[in-house]
Structure 1
Amino acid sequence: MTQAIRLTNTGGPDVMKWETFDPGRPGSGELRIKHTAVGLNFIDIYHREGAYPLPLPTGLGVEGVGIVVDVGVGVTDFKPGDRIAYAGGPPGAYAFERLIPAGRAVLLPEYIEDEVAASVFFKGLTVEYLIRRCYPVEKGDTVLWHAAAGGVGTLAGQWLSDIGATVIGTVGSDAKASHALQNGYTHTVNYKSEDFVARVRELTDGVGVAVAYDSVGKDTIMGSLDCVRTRGTLVSFGTTSGPTPPIDLATLGGKGSLYLTRASVAHYTAKRPELENAADAVFSMLKAGKLRAAEPTRFALKDVADAHRELQSGKTSGSVILVP
């Protein structure tokens, strides 16, 4: 028997409840793992609130690091004792032990510590597909990234800086501006005290950015369109401020024949070779010191409700992890 956070109805942080359960033996193609660290991501909040509906009851959490305890029939790439990281697949990471599809796991290199992996893996996969495959950023491109001091934004600034891009990041405080500038951003814009559209236009001499990455949604999406240069791209990949409003396709033409995509890491890592290649890229960047995992904000797994409140309030910078 083990313990896990379970959800029987959606709502605020207090709907998450401890339960004792038996994950059972792994089925065909599955691993049973014992977590050493769990990553907290905004998608967990979307699941908890019901914005991204899940069949209830359900577990929560889509990212974890741990030790393989047992393997199911047909699993040949993993064995008991292996250290693994995973992202995606059925929610259920908020648990001491769980079953996961072996196809979502990758072996964790010995040079990467468990808490570093929990801080970086899912967020690193997200940055990788956004800047290398969704819109391939090139040296000399000017990029706008919202929520620059968050866990994904921090890694994005580092990676984009290594590519040689000029990176403009929006933040909500002077402290977060300082954090962003220390992590690869060329310029920051405090959206609470500045008009980010006007400031981006000023910084780009009126031209606009090659690509804008928007995980905020309702509060920023239309402004993001106004920041993009002619024939540039807007990548929407989150809605932390609420769902985006409908956008008439004619608007994209009127603003300069813009490209718009609503992207998901699930679609860019669904095939095993894509997941492995993306993981290798993240691990290589970490090994080279080009991605640097800042000290994460830690919460005990049993205090996950407090962790959700902190993340949702925007008080955190960098990554938040849960420790079983």
Structure 2
Amino acid sequence: MAKRIQFRAHGGPEVLEYVDYQPAEPGPQQVRVSNKAIGLNFIDTYYRSGLYPPPSLPSGLGSEGAGVVEAVGSEVTRFKVGDRVAYGSGPLGAYSDVHVLPQANLVLLPDAISFEQAAGVMLKGLTVQYLLRQTYELKGGETILFHAAAGGVGSLACQWAKALGVKLIGTVSSPQKAALAKANGAWATIDYSHENVAQRVLELTDGKKVPVVYDGVGKDTWLTSLDSVAPRGLVVSFGNASGAVDGVNLGILSAKGSLYVTRPTLATYANTAENLQRMADELFEMIISGKLKVDISQKYPLAEAAKAQAELSARRTTGSTILLP
């Protein structure tokens, strides 16, 4: 028997249960991983709340972790028992002592990166990789806007953008978070609690606005993002921290300057084992080289996952949060 977090109904953090369960034997193309550290992410709250419905209830939770391979299926060729591995794209069930998942969803973890680092960076780091290197490939010299620049994804984006020679303008909610974003490499910050973001973007860019806005906040920042991007620019809406963007009239894109909008997901970019490993290798190289530091600011026992999610949802966290089995 092992321990895991599950939920039987949708709701707030209080629906999460810490229970005993029997881990499955891996299927032919599956690997069973003994988790050493588990990542906490906003997307976990979407599944818990029902914004993203899980395949069935009761359901496990979490899609990110790192550990050691303890069993492999009969057709697994890429991994063996004892390998250090990490994952960031599910399937659901990472909030557990052990997790069974397809070999295509795993990557080999270099010895130079700890399990805690990997669990704190896989989903967020791979997200930043596809955002900055694929969705809108930054070449260096651009000025961009990135919402929630002091959060887990934002903290990594600030560092990666600086390493690329990009001026990142980050939105934050307090002077403390502004200082954190600047320390991580943000070129400028805008405190949306008392500053007009679109107006400040205009001022910071000498009236040009930005070619791309990265928006993981969603509903609350949608119009601000449209008002901050230059004509024929791109709004990358990649998250729903404040709720989903809905009811969009496409006419607003023409009215704001013939804008482009995309709603990408990690799964679409890491759609093969080869693509996933390639993206992870670039992420790991950034960490090993020292260009990217993984800020794990909060650690909770797995049993306290509900408390950890409550803190995350209340925006009382910075950097990455991990759960420890």
TM range (shorter): over 0.9
Matches within 5 A, 1:163-202: 163-202=164-203
> Is 1:64 paired with 2:65?
yes
SS in 2 for 1:35: strand
Letter in 2 for 1:89: G
Letter in 1 for 2:8: T
Cα contact 1:89–1:101 (8 A) shared by 2: no
Matches within 5 A, 1:229-268: 229-268=230-269
Distance 1:242 1:24 in 2: 34
Q: Cα RMSD (Å) of the superposition?
A: 0.9
Letter in 2 for 1:41: N
Structure 2 gap ranges (5+): none
Matching residue of 1:300: 301
Matching residue of 2:154: 153
Once the 2 structures are TM-superposed, how far is the Cα of residue 246 of structure 1 from its aligned partner?
A: 2.2
SS in 2 for 1:36: strand
Distance 1:275 1:85 in 2: 11
Letter in 1 for 2:15: V
Consecutive aligned runs of 4 or more in structure 1 exceeding 4 Å deviation: none
Distance 1:169 1:231 in 2: 21
Distance 1:24 1:120 in 2: 26
Matching residue of 2:51: 51
Once the 2 structures are TM-superposed, how far is the Cα of residue 22 of structure 1 from its aligned partner?
A: 1.1
Distance 1:271 1:44 in 2: 23
SS in 2 for 1:148: coil
Letter in 2 for 1:43: I
> Is 1:115 paired with 2:88?
no
Once the 2 structures are TM-superposed, how far is the Cα of residue 89 of structure 1 from its aligned partner?
A: 2.8
Letter in 1 for 2:53: P
Cα contact 2:32–2:71 (8 A) shared by 1: yes
Once the 2 structures are TM-superposed, how far is the Cα of residue 206 of structure 1 from its aligned partner?
A: 1.3
Matching residue of 1:37: 37
Deviations 1:138-172 (A, max 9, x none): 21111000000001000000001111111100001
Equivalent pairs counted in the alignment come to: 324
- TM-score under structure 2 normalisation? 0.98
Cα contact 2:296–2:321 (8 A) shared by 1: no
Distance 1:322 1:252 in 2: 41
Distance 2:21 2:296 in 1: 32
Structure 1 gap ranges (5+): none
Distance 1:248 1:272 in 2: 37
Letter in 2 for 1:319: S
Cα contact 1:16–1:305 (8 A) shared by 2: yes
Distance 2:310 2:251 in 1: 39
Matching residue of 1:216: 217
Deviations 1:183-224 (A, max 9, x none): 010000000011111111111111100100001111111110
Deviations 1:91-142 (A, max 9, x none): 0001011211111001100000111111111111000001111111121111
- TM-score under structure 1 normalisation? 0.98
